[in-house]
Amino acid sequence: MKISNQVGPAANPGTEERMTVVVPTHNRPAELVRSLSSIVKQTIRPLEVIVIDDVGDKRVQAIAEGYSHEFRRGVRYVESEVATGSAPRSRNIGLAEVGTEYVAFLDDDDEWDPQCLSRMIFALTSGNEIVVVHSEIATRSSRRPFMRIKDGLEWSDCLANNPGITGSNFAARAETLRSVDGFDEELLVAEDQDLLVRMLLAGHPYAVVPEVLVTQHADGTEHLSSAGKRQSLGLRRFLHKHARIMDRRDKRYQLSMYHAASIYPGVSIADRIFHRSAQIIYMSPRTLLARLIFRIRGRTKEY
């Protein structure tokens, strides 16, 4: 199902009893306030919000509990047993706590448009098992389109570049997520892309709400998708996990991404030369040309 009306249908009052929102947070109390405030502003609020804190910050607990009066079942603060900075683990802990039919996730540094939850609930109550909305990315000086998933993709279309799913722009039936074992906690990045691949392999199609309803902030704070050792290891694990079902083009793309991510502060000059050379070798001519144009125009990656 694709919802294409520009105004867009909204869920009926009362459907909030079927939705829980899980918010994983990692040492970002100021950003968490923005995230929780955007949930409060929803035209249809969830029954409950569950904040998963993998640091055990008392400030975060106080912030979460301060919003409790805004939701029928309040805000539940859950401290993760292991402070790993792992969003997949925090989301799985939250998923295990969900008692409603539907669940949505919102990262602590992202925010929703007031209509976001209503649009997603409508799509779910119309018979879909997972729904994805569009997002934008915001810097201190600008906003631009970001994740724009297309309708009707197969699992084989989602093995190279992320087709447009993040931890903040989808909702699903909780039991459907549990049936595919939730998020892969071994993946440090691309766990959202991996989830979509596994959902499609298991025969669970997705619906699309083609409206920009999520803002992802790139304001200088560290993100899981930021370049570094974490991203390098995560991409390597994603490639290893799905290598047997990837075609040659997908493998080359992922290898190029892995080598690009392996060039970060602290890497030796020899390793930089090796990874840059490998990145170029595995790049498609089209991608290489696009990168050269970006360089010529002086543009750099923001997120």
Examine the domain organization and report whether 130 and 196 are in the same domain. yes
We report the CATH number of the domain holding residue 107 as 3.90.550.10
Residue position matching structure tokens 């001519």: 285
Q: What is the pLDDT of residue 6?
A: 31
Examine the domain organization and report whether 145 and 262 are in the same domain. no
Q: What is the pLDDT of residue 231?
A: 87
* Long-range contact set of residues 145-152: C-beta below 8 Å, sequence gap at least 24: 145/212, 146/216, 146/303, 147/214, 147/216, 148/210, 149/206, 149/208, 150/208, 151/2, 151/208
Examine the domain organization and report whether 27 and 161 are in the same domain. yes
Examine the domain organization and report whether 102 and 211 are in the same domain. yes
Task: Look at residue 4 and tell me if it is in a domain.
Answer: no
Among the candidates 217, 250, 271, a domain finishes at 217
Examine the domain organization and report whether 72 and 174 are in the same domain. yes
CB atoms within 10 A of CB 87: 25
Task: Look at residue 151 and tell me if it is in a domain.
Answer: yes
- d(CA 300, CA 303) in angstroms, rounded, equals 9
* pLDDT per 10-residue tile (average), the chain, 303 residues: 43 74 94 97 96 92 96 93 76 96 96 96 94 94 92 95 95 97 93 97 96 88 61 92 95 92 92 92 81 67 43
Examine the domain organization and report whether 19 and 100 are in the same domain. yes
- d(CA 180, CA 204) in angstroms, rounded, equals 10
Task: Look at residue 224 and tell me if it is in a domain.
Answer: no
Q: Domains in the chain: how many in total?
A: 2
CB atoms within 10 A of CB 181: 12
Examine the domain organization and report whether 292 and 185 are in the same domain. no
Strands (E), 26-176: 48-53, 75-79, 102-105, 110-112, 130-138, 143-145, 170-173
Could you tell me if 128 and 11 are in contact, meaning their C-beta atoms sit under 8 angstroms apart? no
* Token pair of 21 as six digits: 């929102």
Task: Say if strands 110-112 and 143-145 run parallel, antiparallel, or are unpaired.
Answer: unpaired
Q: What is the pLDDT of residue 287?
A: 74
Which range of residues forms the domain containing residue 35?
15-217
Among the candidates 184, 217, 250, a domain finishes at 217
Task: Look at residue 285 and tell me if it is in a domain.
Answer: yes
Q: What is the pLDDT of residue 298?
A: 61
Could you tell me if 144 and 38 are in contact, meaning their C-beta atoms sit under 8 angstroms apart? no
Please state at what angle helix 229-242 crosses helix 191-201, rounded to 10 degrees.
Answer: 10
Which residues contact residue 220 at a Cβ distance below 8 angstroms, ignoring those fewer than 6 apart?
A: 140
- d(CA 238, CA 236) in angstroms, rounded, equals 5
Examine the domain organization and report whether 163 and 193 are in the same domain. yes
Residue 160: name the closest of 245, 263, 230, 87 by CA. Answer: 245
Q: What is the pLDDT of residue 215?
A: 96
Q: What is the pLDDT of residue 1?
A: 42
